[in-house]
Amino acid sequence: MKVPFAGAIDCDLHLPSPSMAVLMRHMDDFWREQFVTRRIDRMDFQLTSFPPNTPLAMRDDWRAPAGEGETPLDKLRREALDPFGARIAIGSILHGAIGLYNEDMAAVICSAVNDHLARDWLDHEPRLRGSILVMGSSPDHAVAEIERLAADRRFVQIILPVMGDFLPGKRQMWPVYRACEKHGLAVALHAGSTYRYPPTGSGWPSYHVEDYIAQSTAFENAIVSFLAEGVFNEFPDLRLVCLESGFTWLPTLLWRLNKEWRGTRQETPWLDRPPADVVRERVRFSLQPVDAPADGALLTRTLAHIGSDELLLFSTDYPHAQFDGDNALPEGLPADLQRKIMIDNPPACYPRLAAEAKEIAP
C-alpha cells in the first residue's frame, strides 16, 4: 500500500557509489599517485553482493539516468524523498573498498566515501542523514574514522556488511562499538559480504539469488554473535540495526534462542535474561524487503509471533527493487503500527535523531 501520511524516516536508502575521480578529491598526494599509477582509479569497486545490473539491484523505472539539467540529488528527491514524504532519510554508500585486503588503502577510500557523502549529499539536502562506512576487518581504522567524523551530527550510524572478516560480536570489534556508544551512533549491519568465507556453512552456492537469500541466515548468526559475546551487556546504550535483512524469520530466532539459552547459559553467564527480550529491546530491522505473501494475512500473524511493535524501521531500500510503484508499505500493517514504523521507532533507535527531535520541539 501507499505511504498514508508524510513525515516518515526512511532508514535504508542507497546513494550511488562515486567514481574514484570523485573520491580522489578527498585524498592526499600519496594515495592519488598510487591509485593513478596502479590504475586502481579505473576500477569500478563493485561488490559481488550487489551486481549492479540485476533486476534486484535497481528498479527498472529508477534505472534511467538523471534527466536533462537534473543533478543526482534532484533525481533522488524526485524518486525517493518526495514520493514517500520522507522527513528524514538515512543514506548509505556501500563502496567496494571494504572488499580489499590492504587495510590502509581500504580505510583511505572509506574516508573519502564518507567525506563525499557529507560534502556532495548532506550539505545540499537537509532531509538526508548519513552512515559512516568503516572497515570491519580493521577495528583500529574504524575507530579512527568514527572519531574523525563524530562531531558531524548528521552521521547517525556506522555501516558494515553483515558478513565480514569475523562474526561481528567478537571482542576484536569492541573498540568500534565503544566509540559508537560514546558518540550516540547506532551500529548498522547491511546485507552483503566481503566473502572472506563462503556465504553458507556448506560452501559456495552457484547463483546470486542464493547468496542474496542466505543474507537472512547471516543476520541470524550475527545477532546470536552479538548476544553470546555480550556486546549488549558491555555497551548498554548501543543499538544494532539490521538493514535489508528481512524480518519475517524473526519468530524462529526468538523462540530458538530462548530455548537454547536455557540449556547453555552457563557458557555465557553474562547473558542474564531471555535473549528474545534483549533482541526486542536492542535490535531493530529495516522494513524492506518484506518477505511475506502479498495478501497481508500471514504478515499480520507473523507480526503477532514477533511480539513487539517496536522492532521495525521504515525503509524504501531505494533504489533496490523491493516493491512496485509507490507501495512502500506491505498489506497487513495495522494503522497504529504504520505510525510506529514510520514515525516513532526510528528516533527511539537512533540517539542522534532523538536528540534532534528534542531540539526541534519547543
Footprint on residues 235-274 left by other proteins (CB under 8 A): 246, 248-249, 251-252, 254-270, 272, 274
Measured distance CA(104)–CA(201) in Å, rounded: 30
Q: Any contact of residue 167 with other proteins (CB under 8 A)?
A: yes
Measured distance CA(13)–CA(128) in Å, rounded: 10
Q: Any contact of residue 172 with other proteins (CB under 8 A)?
A: no
Nearer to other proteins, 70 or 295 (CB): 295
For other proteins, what does the binding mask look like between residues 50 and 89, x meaning CB under 8 A? ----xxx---------------------------------
Cβ neighbourhood burial of 258 (10 Å; 0-12, 13-18, 19+): middle
* Phi, psi for residue 150 in degrees, rounded to 5: -60, -30
> Shortest CA distance to 79 belongs to which of 94, 64, 95, 57?
64
Question: Residue 98: helix, strand or coil by DSSP?
Answer: helix
Q: Any contact of residue 99 with other proteins (CB under 8 A)?
A: no
Interface with other proteins (CB under 8 A), residue total 82
Q: Any contact of residue 333 with other proteins (CB under 8 A)?
A: no
Among 75-83, 164-172, 308-316, 347-355, the segment contacting other proteins (CB under 8 A): 164-172
Q: Any contact of residue 163 with other proteins (CB under 8 A)?
A: yes
Q: Any contact of residue 5 with other proteins (CB under 8 A)?
A: no
Treating both helix axes as pointing N-terminal to C-terminal, what angle do 250-264 and 208-229 enclose, rounded to 10 degrees?
Answer: 40
Nearer to other proteins, 174 or 339 (CB): 174
Contacts (CB under 8 A) with other proteins, residues 37-56: 54-56
Binding residue (CB under 8 A) for other proteins from 111, 138, 216, 315: 216
**Least distance in Å: CB of 83 to other proteins?**
20
Nearer to other proteins, 254 or 333 (CB): 254
The sign one gets for the Cα dihedral 191, 196, 198, 200 is negative
> Shortest CA distance to 346 belongs to which of 13, 2, 4?
13
Measured distance CA(275)–CA(135) in Å, rounded: 28
